[in-house]
Amino acid sequence: MIDFERVPSVKKSFRQSSLDTLGQLGTTKKMKIPLELIGRGTDASDNQTLRRKAKKKLVTNKVVLPLIDYARSKGNEDMVRSLWNTYHCQERLILSENIMHGVYCKNRICTVCNGNRKAEMINKYLPIVETWSDPHFITLTAKSCFANQLYDRMRNTKRAFKIIADIIKKRHQRGKGPKLVAIKSLECNFNPYKRTYNPHFHILVPSIEVAEIVLQEWLRTWTGKYAQLIAQKIRKVEDRERDLIEVVKYGSKILTEPNPNNKIERRKITRRVYIAALYNILRAMRGLRLTDTYGFELPKSKTKTKSVTVFDYDELSYDMEMMDWVNEDTGETLSNYEPDPELLHILNKNIETELC
């Protein structure tokens, strides 16, 4: 069932360094080919981090396989290729002195990569948000739509904000309004009861004044036919980091509440994964930048991509059955992660492939 031929070899990503260095290997226990590894790698000394990573890898792989089947049934070979990369994301790890290196797929559906991306975004944006005197969190949405309208709606949603940003900018240049400063991301929910999709923005702005202007212009741009005041939200930010995470996390939840509007039911029924809906959302978001910033510059990043040559290392590969990375020489597992029963139930029984 696994179509390895379509996937680029993971091995070639670890660049082999000059064999001249072999002469220095006198003290290593076992002769290995020296490897030049790109990037700083990840700390492998903290078991909690390793277990979290194993959980993300499990969720991703369990969801990606049926998604691949679905994408293939739609004839979307581009998506099939990209999903296979995700299936093989971090499949092989090189572990040396408690630092591990592996190849990331960097796809949106990948929860392993999204964890990294989230950490990077927080490092980048939190220092900016910390300088804001009275940050507010806005949720902007327009009427939900069906799957066949989603591709266009996603683009129109982005276009609507661009119109708003231009209006606010021009007004500010004329000295008649505040500057638009914001961090914004596009997300999309799926409602399995109504089978509708709801693209929406989460936006952080530095003041209530900016929040209210953005909201007013949003309602004006969409008109009452598509956007009602009652569906939009503005609230004061109490915890800057928590709300920044809310903005920069990935655009669609993999696990969906069966009925997002019914709080009682939400507690009783476990969550599900809707493959066709995820496919539709991924397809509609393809090629779109989900996070945009307005009105501030980030300090230039000075960190260069480093590389390190390792001589003594372990090679691990991910094993779906073990739900963990396994040392290829010793058979030892890396994280000893054990999923909780609810998650296993969702991943084994609650993946819906039909509904869309």
Residue closer to Zn ion, measured from CB, 107 or 191: 107
Nearest distance in Å: CB 205, Zn ion: 31
Residue placing its CB nearer to Zn ion in the complex, 34 or 41:
41
Nearer to Zn ion, 64 or 211 (CB): 64
Nearer to Zn ion, 57 or 200 (CB): 57
Report if residue 105 touches Zn ion, rule: CB under 5 A. yes
Asked if 198 and 191 count as a contact pair (C-beta separation under 8 A), the reply is: yes
Q: How does DSSP classify residue 180?
A: -
Separation of alpha carbons 325 and 332, rounded Å: 8
Q: Which of 113, 147, 214, 323 is in the footprint of Zn ion by CB under 5 A?
A: 113
By C-beta, is 117 or 184 nearer to Zn ion?
A: 117
Say how far apart CA 66 and CA 109 lie, in whole Å: 13
89, 129, 180, 276: which one binds Zn ion (CB under 5 A):
89
Does 63 bind Zn ion (CB under 5 A)? Our answer is no
Instruction: Examine residue 94 and tell whether it contacts Zn ion (CB under 5 A).
Output: no
| Residue with token string 């004061």 | 236
Kindly tell me which of 104 and 311 has the beta carbon lying closer to Zn ion: 104
Residue 64 Cβ, how far from Zn ion at the closest point, in Å? 10
Q: Considering only residues 110, 140, 147, 276, which one is a binding residue for Zn ion as defined by CB under 5 A?
A: 110
Residue identified by tokens 């064999």 is 19
Does residue 112 interact with Zn ion by CB under 5 A?
yes
Q: Counting contacts by CB under 5 A, is residue 278 touching Zn ion? A: no
Give the nearest distance from C-beta 332 to Zn ion in angstroms. 24
Verify binding: residue 58, Zn ion, rule CB under 5 A.
no
| Beta-strand runs (E) in the chain | 15-16, 35-38, 42-43, 92-96, 99-101, 136-141, 182-191, 196-205, 233-236, 273-274, 291-294, 307-310, 314-319, 324-327, 351-352
Q: What does DSSP say about strands 182-191 and 196-205: parallel, antiparallel, or unpaired?
A: antiparallel
Choice between 84 and 197, CB closer to Zn ion = 84
How many residues belong to the site for Zn ion (CB under 5 A)? 6
218-249 core/surface letters (b: 16 or more CB in 10 A; e: else): bbebbeeebbeeebbebeebeebeebbebbbb
Using an 8 Å Cβ cutoff, are 29 and 316 in contact? no
In angstroms, give the least distance from the CB of 188 to Zn ion: 20
Rounded Cα distance between 75 and 7, Å, is: 18
Residues at the site binding Zn ion, with contacts judged by CB under 5 A: 89, 104-105, 110, 112-113
